[in-house]
Amino acid sequence: MKRADIWKYVWQEIWGGDAPTSGKGERYCPQKRGTVWVADGQEEEKYINQEEAAEGYKKDGWMRSYIKLESIEKVLKKWEEINSIVASRQINSTEVEESDGVYNSRGIYASSSIFDSKNVVGSKKLFDCQYLVGCRDDSACFVGAGVRESIYCSRCWEVSWSNKVSRSAFVHDCYDVTECLFCAHLRSKKYCVANIQLEKEEYLKIKGMVREWVQKDYLD
C-alpha cells in the first residue's frame, strides 16, 4: 500500500468519508523528498544507502591503495574519505522508502526504527503496529494518526500516554476508553467529551463537529 493510500485508509477508519489530500495532512503523512534516510541524531554525518555500500564492496572490497601515513592529519583525511554512514537500512522488509532502521516490516515510508509493523508513514519507534501515520513510541496499535507513547490503541487521533483506547481523539493518559474526545486521565469510559459524560446521540453530534473542525482548521 502506498503512503497516500495509507493516509486515506487511516482517515476513513477514524473519521469516515473522504480524506483530505495527503498534502494537507503533511504533519502526519510527509511527501516524498529523497532517497537516503537516517534515524534521528546523526544529521551532521555523511550517508550512503545499503545498495551503494554493496556496490563499493563489489568494486574493491572498500580497500584503498597504499600510501604512507606519516601524520595524524593524513590518517584523518583518508578516514573521512571512506567513513560514510550506511543509512536507509532495512532487514527482512519490503516496500520501504525514505526510512531507516526497519526490521521485519512492510509498507514503511518516511519512518525510522520500525519493528514488525506494516503500512506506516512519518513515524518512529514502533513495535507491532499497523496503519499508523505521524506516530511515535507505540506498541501494538492499529490505525492511528498522532498516536504517541501508547499501547493497544485503535482508530485513534492524537492520543498520547494511553492504553486500550479506541475510536477516540485528543486523549491523554487514559485507559480502557472508547468513543471519547478531548479527555484526560479517564478509566473505563465511553461517550465522554472534555471528561463530561454524554448520551450517545449528543456525543455523535459533537463528534461530527470535531471532524469538520479537524478537516477545515486543525490540519492547516
Q: What is the mean pLDDT of residues 103-115?
A: 96
Same-domain check for residues 184 and 97: yes
3-state secondary structure of 43: coil
Rounded to whole angstroms, the Cα distance separating 203 from 167 reads 12
Asked if 203 and 215 count as a contact pair (C-beta separation under 8 A), the reply is no
How does DSSP classify residue 153? Answer: -
* Position 39 pLDDT exceeds 80: no
Share of the chain above pLDDT 90, in %: 71
Same-domain check for residues 61 and 98: no
Beta-bridge partners for 184? 172
Q: What dihedral do alpha carbons 154, 7, 148, 176 form, nearest 10°? A: -10
Q: pLDDT per residue over 122-154, tens digit each?
A: 999 999 999 999 999 999 999 999 999 999 999
Least confident piece of the model among 81-85, 88-92, 149-153, 215-219: 81-85
The boundaries of the domain holding residue 161 are: 3-49+87-218
| DSSP codes of every residue in 53-81 | HHHHHHHHTT--------SHHHHHHHHHH
Rounded to whole angstroms, the Cα distance separating 157 from 146 reads 6
Rounded to whole angstroms, the Cα distance separating 205 from 220 reads 23
Q: What is the mean pLDDT of residues 68-81?
A: 93
Q: pLDDT per residue over 164-195, tens digit each?
A: 999 999 999 999 999 999 999 999 999 999 99
Q: What is the mean pLDDT of residues 61-89?
A: 89
Same-domain check for residues 62 and 39: no
Q: Which of 88, 81, 75 is nearest to 49 (CA)?
A: 88
* Predicted local confidence at residue 82, as pLDDT: 86
Number of domains in the chain: 2
For residue 202, the Cα-to-chain-centroid distance in whole angstroms is: 33
Same-domain check for residues 93 and 125: yes
Same-domain check for residues 169 and 96: yes
